[in-house]
Amino acid sequence: MISSRIIGTGSYAPKKVLTNHDLEKMIETSDDWITERTGIKERRIAAEGETTSDMAAKAAKKALEMAGIEPNDIDTIIVATVTPDMDFPSTACFVQNKLKAHKAASFDIAAACSGFIYALSVADSLIKSGHSKYALVIGAEIFSRITDWTDRNTCILFGDGAGAAVLAKTTGKRGILSTHLHSEGSSWKLLCASSHEENAKTFIRMQGNEVFKVAVRALEDVAIEALEHNGLKGDDLDWFIPHQANERIIVATAKRLGVPMDKVYMNLQKYGNTSAASIPLALDEAVRNGKVKDGDLILLDAFGGGFTWASALIRW
């Protein structure tokens, strides 16, 4: 049976670090409050002039290098982002040009923090249906550009970055076992950003505690859906790599799934919430530092604006 397998990962985070102590000088907050409520200690901020596609292309180059393939081998590029370079063309087209991936079809997916798993699912389907052989899936965001730096409810949470994965056609037992995607548009007002309203600046608006409650439930539901679909339990997982929004959300979800914290990969302390980039940033780190090993069972789990939520179960 044809399926898809991740054969390379890469990530990129801008150089500039913004710590909780830096934020103490900008707004009424404290390192203690941010650490206790979110687990975040610092986040990265893109340089002036640096674009989402710049970061995406850098992450992609590292993923291609690990995969051992050339840009010309790639036939599909999907970028998950809600902070694109322009309204159009897609950020994926900018990436295609930067990589000189001349044979690739390119498009973006907008599913906020769930975007990477949505993109992974589409790429997996393209490979399974025979449309694609090598797909490049990227999550990349510049949330610092849509953050209201005077709003302490939101500006402490987000950061910039990119992560990428190369998917290849395989017939072996390793690879993407399943993906599950969901959305519920009626709750859009609880987490959104818009540049389309009159006189609007594109700022994130979020009712944090409402989002928090829904997120934990949805993350649990879609994780269980993935496990049950494959006849597995939380116990069977080697790694749980969730969207990196808030340590308390992650701990609560892991507890409900019966996954011990030493099997949960977390790097939000360094990057904050990077939306669609958070899972591939964490996955790439876990692969490169040798935590993720061949044969490991990995569950990716995300929740974000839309609302959208999604999971992917992978035999590494």
Handedness of CA 39, 44, 45, 46 (dihedral sign): negative
End-to-end CA distance of the chain: 17
Task: Mark the segment that binds ligand UT7 (CB under 6 A) among 1-9, 46-54, 211-219, 228-236.
Answer: 211-219
Neighbours of 190 (CB within 10 A): 17
Task: Mark the segment that binds ligand UT7 (CB under 6 A) among 1-9, 122-130, 148-156, 220-228.
Answer: 148-156
Q: List 126's β-bridge partners, or say none.
A: none
Q: Using the rule CB under 6 A, which residue among 117, 176, 237, 245 binds ligand UT7?
A: 245
User: Interface residues for ligand UT7 in 29-58 (CB under 6 A)?
Assistant: 29, 33, 37-38
d(CA 16, CA 127): 37
Which of 256, 257, 163, 243 lies closest to 211, judged by CA? 243
Minimum CB separation of residue 200 from ligand UT7 in Å reads 21
d(CA 165, CA 279): 11
Q: Using the rule CB under 6 A, which residue among 46, 59, 74, 113 binds ligand UT7?
A: 113
Residue closer to ligand UT7, measured from CB, 30 or 289 = 30
Asked about 230 being catalytic, the answer comes back as no
Catalytic-labelled residue, pool 20, 243, 246, 267: 243
Structure tokens at 67: 């995969």
Minimum CB separation of residue 89 from ligand UT7 in Å reads 26
Neighbours of 154 (CB within 10 A): 20
Report the interface residues with ligand UT7, using CB under 6 A.
Answer: 29, 33, 37-38, 113, 152-153, 156, 191, 208-209, 211-212, 215, 245-246, 249, 273, 303-304
Kindly list the catalytic residues: 113, 243, 273
